[in-house]
Structure 1
Amino acid sequence: MQKNTFHFNTNRLMVIINGALVGVLTGIAVSVFRMSIEHSLSWWRDMYTYIKNGHWSMLVLVVLINLVIGVIVALLVKKEPNIAGSGIPQVEGQLMDQLHLNYFSILWRKFVAGILAIGSGLMLGREGPSIQLGAAVGQGVAETIKVDHSQKKSLIAAGAASGLAAAFNAPLAGVMFVLEEIYHSFSPVIWLGALAGSVIADAISTIVFGQTPVLAVGQLPIIPVRLYGLLLILGLVLGLLGFLYQKTLLASQKIYQWTHLPKYLNGLIPLMLVIPLGLFWSNGLGGGNNLVLALGHHVPGIKILLAMVLVRFIFSMISYGSGLPGGIFLPILTLGALNGAIIGQVFVIFGWLSASYLIDFVVIGMAAYFAAIGKAPFTAIILIIEMVGSVTHVLPLAFVSLVAYLVVDLCNGAPIYESLLNRLLQNQEEDGGQQLITLEVPVLAGTVLEDREIRNIDWLSQSLITMVKRGNQSLLPAGDLILRPGDTIYVRTAQAESKKVRASLLLKM
């Protein structure tokens, strides 16, 4: 007679515990980062107001401060080039085994440089840097407790999700962003650790900043079904505008080649240009969450909205194209809100829409614009629900986000962070290319790996399969083992060949 025994499954418990530890550390780090930026932006707005009130001699001090900030950030970026930009492409590269980073160098330099650059009023977001800070924390924990390669990636993903959760008070969006945009696979180990970290990081952020949603714009009226034709137009227009944003952002990095400055000194240009902008429109400085909140109380006329969009679009490109540490996450949402408001005002003028629904177009515009640019509709929907604090608009959010996504897809637009990663990899020097690394590749339905025996798969000569993960089981890669959707294979290859090997294993049938 067989005796039934009970065993605790400690593997996933450890994933949750380690993810929660990463969430605690990331929540603290990102909360301090976020608070420092908010205080810095407040100080700069007060300073510009003070100067406009007749104290013009202080303008010399402002120029000197921005020059010092530019030099400090330039030195930090020169020493650690991987802190430039948002940091999300770097995290994606890590999880795809295409980049290998020094977590401590990233952590402290991104923290300091991010506060200085974003806090100076440039139109950059804190969310991308927060994600990279979280990923660095996750990597640091992984290397400290000495886990294997797969668990290390899980903790990096948990840190990235925790960073977004703490920056936006959006734990579910943090998890979904990692799965949809960064990791590109629904791995149980990845989402479990990411969820544990996100919940804890969000709890810490909530203790520090309160429970009010980041973009609490008030009560939203329910959009009647008869207006869904207008929502279709909204999605089509935002999809085209999102595609324009993608192309312009990628081109903005080339513009600085004309300056003939060393790449790490490009940040001095936006730091000087932000001064007249601050004197002219101090409330427009920063990522733009204050503008979205203002739209919740009053939506200006079309001329003012167009001016806001034009200024923010151009200066966002100047800010990000310089390579300064700072993201595009919140600036994208702000532009989406403003574009949604403009389209809504056009409908109001033609008598097709009541002005009471303008706030709906602001909120839906944020989701659709981000869904188009990032090609991450699930993240966009969940993020806006959590940031606005309303679940009554799931259907219109999903509808318009899907339309905008399809428009960009038909235009052959790629996810913006994927494009930025490809640009980053192209620009990097090819050193250490022969270093052997282990790729973690999911077996997806409809690809060349599905329902194939290992011996019948055309493996590239530079690759060697070492293990197959199926649920909680680790299987030896015997030749007659049939791979199933949901499996994860571990492949040893040279770093220089990693992108080619991964692509060959994810080909569609």
Structure 2
Amino acid sequence: MKNFFDTLDKTKIKYIGKGILVGSLAGIVVSLFRLCIEKIGELLPIIYQQLKLQPIFLLPWGLFMLLCAWFVGRLIKSEPNIKGSGIPQVEGQLKDEVSISWWSVLWKKFIGGILSVGTGLFLGREGPSIQLGASCAQGVATKMKVGKSEEKILLSSGAAAGLAAAFNAPVAGLLFVVEEVHHNFSPLVWLTSFAAALMSNFVSLTIFGLQPVLHLGDIPSLPLRHYWLLILLGIVLGILGRFYQIILLALEKWYSFLPLPSYLRGIVPFLLIIPIGLYFPYYLGGGNQIILALGQHSPTLIALFCLLSLRFIFSMISYGSGLPGGIFLPILTLGAVIGSLFANFSVIFFNLEPTFIKDFIVIAMAGYFAAIGKAPLTAIILVTEMVGSLVHLMPLGLTALVAYVVVDILGGDPIYEALLERLVKGKKTHLSGQRTTVEIPVLAGSKLDGTLVRDFDWPDHMLLALLHRGDREILPHGDTVMKMGDTLEILTDTTHAGEIIRKINEQI
């Protein structure tokens, strides 16, 4: 027994334990957040149907929505970091570009998100869930008084746990952190994040059951003879994805023309949602009910085009106002509508069998998200877990790859990185100047690969402290050759960390 315990990697066991703790807390908080939104969402069609029958109550309902907008606006004014999805803020924390008070963000994002998403605005619960999970993790790190490096690992695990609980998608939660946030496979990060995501998902499944969030029933395998349509679909999704990015990033400028303070811009979507609710009560919210409905029956091309226009325009109005809410689910909904529209078009003009319409709904969700977020692996696994079907990995991968390449050709950046750049642009961070470490992976094709340490032009205010090569830790010196697969551990302070990462990435 002694030999067995001696062989255990106690560091990894410790981080797995902390990941389980973070996952448990994040799972409880996010599941409660999700439950409140779903329960309110079930009441909305009933409320709007009654309002249509008794219009006299429209005035008090409008006043109630104004009160909600004002209250959420006050929360935003007191804590600006709860604006939007929260994912850029989490990425900024991990890059030492944003400083956040975890308790303030936790409870204000929780309440603001319920009021914004729950009242039917075209916003998703997943972005706030990721930020809520990260806030839980930051709280754990603060209470345990861990170092800056360990705090970042726990923050990553909290973000993964938040996404896992929001969509019952633990592997997608892990991949999101690795692919979208860190862009590398740090052993402690993925191990802790996976433990947290699994635990958080366990809590979520206990509350909501085992059925996948977007269970569409049996989905047939798409024959190889139709794969050429996937390439065409990927091109369409890439073009539309780039258009989505351009419009989303222009919203801040457009909203600035309104004679309203930034924290009260939510008045616009809160009031505009009322006529939409009166005439389309089942189209409210993030859109998961629309995806499920499209899987059951297929509307006409005109109806689908009108639905796409409505969802796109009001999703932009909702998110651009800065209200606490995400874009994951609205993007997936738009992708599903585009997929249904494309498939119905293909039935008429390309002899596609109607039985495969459902396939294109699923495939387009992943392709559209891959185009906008530029995180194809996360998109593929997220949709796979949400739908609960493994038969579409090949068509999902092909479409996501084509859409990704098209957006890249058109000059699109990952949407959350672009939002983060806008968030921190011209803004000085008020950080403590604590010592921290950042990790830089040596990737295939990198200028670091095969280069001596002394031959690289390192930025100021940093020290290359350690080089990880597999399970080995190497103390680097001038003659050390960096190789593909290495992870460089750089010591600096929080004030310079973001700048150092940018300068190194510009060179490699």
Where does structure 1 lack aligned partners over 5 or more consecutive residues?
none
Whether 2:301 is the aligned partner of 1:297: answer: no
Distance in 1 between residues matched to 2:399 and 2:98, nearest whole Å: 35
Residue 230 of structure 1, CA deviation: 1.2
Q: Aligned with 1:258: secondary structure?
A: coil
Tell me the residue number matched to 1:443: 441
Letter in 2 for 1:102: S
Change (3 A) 1:260 1:436: farther
Residue 38 of structure 1, CA deviation: 0.8
> How many percent of aligned residue pairs carry the same amino acid?
46
Whether 2:1 is the aligned partner of 1:10: answer: no
Distance in 2 between residues matched to 1:489 and 1:35, nearest whole Å: 41
Residue 95 of structure 1, CA deviation: 1.4
Contact in 2 for aligned 1:168/1:387 (Cα 8 Å): yes
Residue 296 of structure 1, CA deviation: 1.1
Residue 456 of structure 1, CA deviation: 3.4
Distance in 1 between residues matched to 2:347 and 2:20, nearest whole Å: 48
Contact in 1 for aligned 2:234/2:402 (Cα 8 Å): yes
Distance in 2 between residues matched to 1:287 and 1:17, nearest whole Å: 34
- Deviation by residue 1:457-494 (Cα, 9 ceiling, x = unmatched): 32223333444455566655544444443223123146
Tell me the residue number matched to 1:101: 100
Tell me the residue number matched to 1:28: 28
Tell me the residue number matched to 2:229: 230
- Deviation by residue 1:152-198 (Cα, 9 ceiling, x = unmatched): 11111111001000000000000001111112111111110111011
Distance in 2 between residues matched to 1:148 and 1:58, nearest whole Å: 55
Distance in 2 between residues matched to 1:439 and 1:97, nearest whole Å: 10
Letter in 2 for 1:43: L
Residue 43 of structure 1, CA deviation: 2.0
What does 1:83-94 correspond to in 2, within 5 Å?
83-94=82-93
Whether 2:151 is the aligned partner of 1:152: answer: yes
Tell me the residue number matched to 1:41: 41
Tell me the residue number matched to 1:388: 387
Contact in 2 for aligned 1:449/1:505 (Cα 8 Å): no
What does 1:321-470 correspond to in 2, within 5 Å?
321-426=320-425, 429-432=427-430, 435=433, 437-445=435-443, 446-469=445-468
Residue 505 of structure 1, CA deviation: 2.1
What does 1:155-174 correspond to in 2, within 5 Å?
155-174=154-173
Residue 61 of structure 1, CA deviation: 1.8
Letter in 2 for 1:126: R
- Deviation by residue 1:33-86 (Cα, 9 ceiling, x = unmatched): 000011112222211011112x11211221111111111111111111010000
Q: Aligned with 1:122: secondary structure?
A: coil
- Deviation by residue 1:393-434 (Cα, 9 ceiling, x = unmatched): 11111111111111101111101111111111116x325379
Cα RMSD for the two superposed structures? 1.9
Contact in 2 for aligned 1:439/1:502 (Cα 8 Å): no
Letter in 1 for 2:22: V
Tell me the residue number matched to 1:487: 487
Range 244-253 or range 435-444, more displaced: 435-444
What does 1:220-299 correspond to in 2, within 5 Å?
220-299=219-298
Tell me the residue number matched to 2:198: 199
Letter in 2 for 1:246: Q
Change (3 A) 1:479 1:146: farther
Range 126-135 or range 252-261, more displaced: 252-261
Letter in 2 for 1:366: M
Q: Aligned with 2:55: secondary structure?
A: coil
Tell me the residue number matched to 1:56: 55
Change (3 A) 1:286 1:7: same
Distance in 2 between residues matched to 1:332 and 1:245, nearest whole Å: 9
Change (3 A) 1:5 1:421: closer
Contact in 2 for aligned 1:85/1:326 (Cα 8 Å): yes
Whether 2:141 is the aligned partner of 1:142: answer: yes
Q: Aligned with 1:335: secondary structure?
A: helix
Distance in 2 between residues matched to 1:451 and 1:147, nearest whole Å: 35
- Deviation by residue 1:265-298 (Cα, 9 ceiling, x = unmatched): 1011110111111111111100000000001110
Contact in 2 for aligned 1:97/1:438 (Cα 8 Å): no
Change (3 A) 1:481 1:218: same
Q: Aligned with 1:213: secondary structure?
A: coil
Distance in 1 between residues matched to 2:107 and 2:69, nearest whole Å: 17
Distance in 1 between residues matched to 2:144 and 2:431, nearest whole Å: 27
Letter in 2 for 1:315: F
Change (3 A) 1:490 1:297: same
Q: Aligned with 1:307: secondary structure?
A: helix
Distance in 2 between residues matched to 1:4 and 1:375, nearest whole Å: 44
- Deviation by residue 1:89-111 (Cα, 9 ceiling, x = unmatched): 11111112221211111111100
Tell me the residue number matched to 1:66: 65
Q: Aligned with 1:259: secondary structure?
A: coil
Distance in 2 between residues matched to 1:21 and 1:360, nearest whole Å: 38
Letter in 1 for 2:440: P
Distance in 1 between residues matched to 2:169 and 2:328, nearest whole Å: 13
Residue 150 of structure 1, CA deviation: 1.9
Distance in 2 between residues matched to 1:241 and 1:409, nearest whole Å: 13
Range 71-80 or range 433-442, more displaced: 433-442
Distance in 2 between residues matched to 1:6 and 1:51, nearest whole Å: 69
Letter in 1 for 2:491: V
Contact in 2 for aligned 1:449/1:506 (Cα 8 Å): no
Range 270-279 or range 497-506, more displaced: 497-506
Change (3 A) 1:214 1:434: closer
Where does structure 2 lack aligned partners over 5 or more consecutive residues?
none
